[in-house]
Amino acid sequence: MKLTILGGGGFRVPLVYGALLGDRAEGRVTEVVLHDLDAGRLDAVTRVLAEQAADVPDAPEVTATTDLDEALRGADFVFSAIRVGGLEGRANDERVALAQGVLGQETVGAGGIAYGLRTVPVAVDIAQRVARLAPDAWVINFTNPAGLVTEAMSRHLGNRVIGICDSPVGLGRRIARVLGANPREAWIDYVGLNHLGWVRGLRVAGRDELPRLLADPGLLGSFEEGKLFGPDWLQSLGVIPNEYLHYYYFNREAVRAYQEAHQTRGAFLRDQQARFYDEMRDPSAAAFLAWDRTRAEREATYMSENRETAGAGERDADDLSGGYEKVALALMRAIARDERTTLILNVRNQHALSVLDNDAVIEVPCLVDAGGAHPVAVDPLPDHATGLVCSVKAVEREVLAAAESGSRTTAVKAFALHPLVDSVNVARRLVDGYTQVHPGLAYLG
Ligand code: G6P
Ligand code: MN
């Protein structure tokens, strides 16, 4: 079984490889091909993987290449985890937006639109190559903004592209834990778009346990989302939002905190990762230790500005292990071995959420088997959530249209229609600002 990882020199690749090393079952991945545009980054990551595999018998073989077509040929699975414009691009997304007084986060608001505009053309090119060179491969998209990028790719790959994110899984796990339920036995009633979803129920043996949580301010205040949003607001909502909804419900505070921060998240990660990749140029450096230290610091500081404005304190130790690689491996196993399972994934709606059309990619519980991921029909969202989902999906569609046509006017429309961009004039200035700093937006004539 051959797995190709696009963005193979990326920082989170060792997480994926670590998960593969733990898989001893028949039909597992035996061959990993890393593709990246940057040979230096490929070398660094290859060294970390070699140290991870040192004591593991029959570890999947790793090769690296800068030739995309060669990487894709013969692949059974393709993980796409690219970052167009690098972390410098992410830092610029934040800076330009904050200068206009709006949010520059890589997936939400203006920053997410800018990142989407430069990523979609590259993702479409990849999808077209996969369709041609590895038509039977399954593509698992990690590239943010994950819902939008998955939808762009699905226009060429249909249901063979599936987007993943670890935040709904983490949220479900945290809720199950505070309710004393086993996360494996709980059905998480979650739906929305990527980074824009809500948990409406958590059923164990057919019984919804969420009302018990919503009735108990003590329990509500005891886990990440409860601390971020506050028990009162969660009780008002009657559902538990994904942590990224903090950027919507507490937008003013989030924007101010990011403006006042010593460094934005993208700038912090840019510098932190530059140090790691620099360190790897020394052939005697302990690669895995350097990587793991960097990873731990990254995880501990995740969403720290949001937590600070909410007075939420440090992250729980249990929340630091991520889980994104576990979702990817579970998905791959379910497809490759027909091991039926349920996962929250980004797939085409089909008929799951009636307020959106069938081709809209949504984030929803899916039954997964050898035939792929099948979304489960869900109840409607509360009205305010439906409003947000429809607005943001409309924005995503404008981003896709702008990427296809190269129309600057359409790009302005995408920014202007976003609920977190408060004026058409701001949208115009954002397009000017972004096209000045991003070579990847030169196509917007
Ligand atoms: C969460 C999100 C991902 C994001 C990751 C890392 O897991 O769901 O989409 O890539 O955090 O965030 P960071 O700010 O560390 O890059
Ligand atoms: Mn995510």
Per-residue pLDDT reduced to its tens digit, 238-250: 999 999 999 999 9
**Ligand with the closest atom to the CA of 324:** 1
Phi, psi of 322 (to 5 degrees): 65, -125
Helix 109-133 vs helix 86-99: crossing angle, to nearest 10 = 150
For the CA of 165, the closest atom of ligand 1 is 8
What's the gap between Cα 41 and its chain centre? 21
Across-strand partners of 191? 198
15 lines ligand 1 (CB under 6 A): no
* Closest by Cα among 23, 1, 67, 121 to 325: 23
Q: Which residues, 6 or more positions from 70, have their beta carbon under 8 angstroms from its beta carbon?
A: none
3-class secondary-structure state, position 255: helix
Residue 247: other Cβ atoms inside 10 A? 24
For 194-217, the pLDDT digits (tens) are 999 999 999 999 999 999 999 999
Mean pLDDT of 281-304: 95
For the CA of 299, the closest atom of ligand 1 is 15
| Residue among 83, 150, 165 to mutate when testing ligand 1 (max atoms within 8 A of CB) | 165
Cα of 145 from ligand 2 centre, angstroms: 8
Helix spans in 79-191 (H): 86-99, 109-133, 146-157, 167-178
- Any domain includes 396: no
- Any domain includes 212: yes
CA dist 227 and 333 (Å) reads 35
**Same-domain pairing of 135 and 182:** no
Domain ends where: 227, 249, 271?
249
For 331-364, the pLDDT digits (tens) are 999 999 999 999 999 999 999 999 999 999 999 9
**Same-domain pairing of 7 and 105:** yes
46 lines ligand 1 (CB under 6 A): no
**Ligand with the closest atom to the CA of 15:** 1
- Any domain includes 213: yes
- What pLDDT was estimated at residue 324? 86
**Same-domain pairing of 154 and 173:** no
Cα of 195 from ligand 2 centre, angstroms: 6
- Any domain includes 156: yes
For 34-70, the pLDDT digits (tens) are 999 999 999 999 999 999 999 999 999 999 999 999 9
- Any domain includes 371: no
- Any domain includes 374: no
* Closest by Cα among 197, 205, 199 to 174: 199
Cα of 283 from ligand 2 centre, angstroms: 33
Residue 445 reports pLDDT greater than 90: no
Residue 310 reports pLDDT greater than 70: yes
**Same-domain pairing of 147 and 13:** yes
Residue 265: give the domain boundaries.
251-310
For 146-158, the pLDDT digits (tens) are 999 999 999 999 9
- What pLDDT was estimated at residue 322? 67
- What pLDDT was estimated at residue 262? 93
Contact (Cβ atoms closer than 8 angstroms) between residue 4 and residue 61: no
- What pLDDT was estimated at residue 7? 98
**Same-domain pairing of 123 and 263:** no
**Ligand with the closest atom to the CA of 12:** 1
- What pLDDT was estimated at residue 424? 98
What is the residue with the minimal CA distance to atom 6 of ligand 1?
302
**Same-domain pairing of 112 and 18:** yes
Domain ends where: 264, 294, 310?
310
- Any domain includes 365: no
**Same-domain pairing of 45 and 149:** yes
165 lines ligand 1 (CB under 6 A): yes
Residue 376 reports pLDDT greater than 80: yes
What is the residue with the minimal CA distance to atom 12 of ligand 1?
302
CATH code, 104: 3.40.50.720
What is the residue with the minimal CA distance to atom 10 of ligand 1?
144
Cα of 293 from ligand 1 centre, angstroms: 17
Mean pLDDT of 277-282: 97
Alpha carbons within 13 angstroms on the beta-carbon side of residue 363 total: 28
Tell me whether strands 207-208 and 240-241 are parallel, antiparallel or unpaired.
unpaired
**Same-domain pairing of 119 and 86:** yes
For the CA of 301, the closest atom of ligand 1 is 15
**Same-domain pairing of 48 and 101:** yes
238 φ/ψ sector (left φ>0, alpha ψ -120 to 50, else beta) = left
Residue 117 reports pLDDT greater than 80: yes
Q: Which two tokens stand for residue 103?
A: 């949010």
**Ligand with the closest atom to the CA of 106:** 1
Domain ends where: 293, 310, 327?
310
CA dist 89 and 406 (Å) reads 20
**Same-domain pairing of 10 and 139:** yes
Cα of 425 from ligand 1 centre, angstroms: 30
- What pLDDT was estimated at residue 380? 93
- Any domain includes 431: no
Helix spans in 134-242 (H): 146-157, 167-178, 210-214, 217-220, 224-229, 231-237
* Closest by Cα among 262, 269, 259, 300 to 86: 269
- What pLDDT was estimated at residue 321? 72
265 lines ligand 1 (CB under 6 A): yes
Cα of 326 from ligand 1 centre, angstroms: 14
Q: Which two tokens stand for residue 142?
A: 């990690």
Percent of all residues in the chain with a pLDDT value above 70, rounded to a whole number: 100
| Residue among 265, 324, 325, 363 to mutate when testing ligand 1 (max atoms within 8 A of CB) | 324
Cα of 143 from ligand 2 centre, angstroms: 9
**Same-domain pairing of 256 and 245:** no
298 lines ligand 1 (CB under 6 A): yes
Mean pLDDT of 271-291: 97
For the CA of 265, the closest atom of ligand 1 is 14
Cα of 205 from ligand 1 centre, angstroms: 32
Split into its structural domains, the chain has a count of 3
Residue 95 reports pLDDT greater than 80: yes
**Same-domain pairing of 206 and 81:** no
